[in-house]
Amino acid sequence: MRTIPSVTLAELAREAGVSRYQLLRGFARSYGLTPHAYMVQRRLAGLWGDARRRPVSV
């Protein structure tokens, strides 16, 4: 399983030059999900994709 480095909302906001609140609202407006919900959804999608590619032994 691939891992990505942990980045906090504060770090992302600082890099983008906005407040955490502005980043959160902008992300939710663009993606329709909060950053946390987006990451959960992506992780689940990755797990389902892995499960579909693996052969099932009986």
What are the distances in angstroms from CA 27 to CA 9, 30, 58? Answer: 11, 5, 44
- Pairwise CA distance, residues 2 & 46, whole Å: 10
Q: What is the pLDDT along the chain (58 residues), one digit of tens a residue?
A: 567 778 898 999 999 999 999 999 999 999 999 988 998 998 888 777 665 666 666 6
Is residue 54 within 8 Å of 47, Cβ to Cβ?
A: no
Sign of CA dihedral 31, 37, 38, 41: negative
At residue 46, the pLDDT reads 78
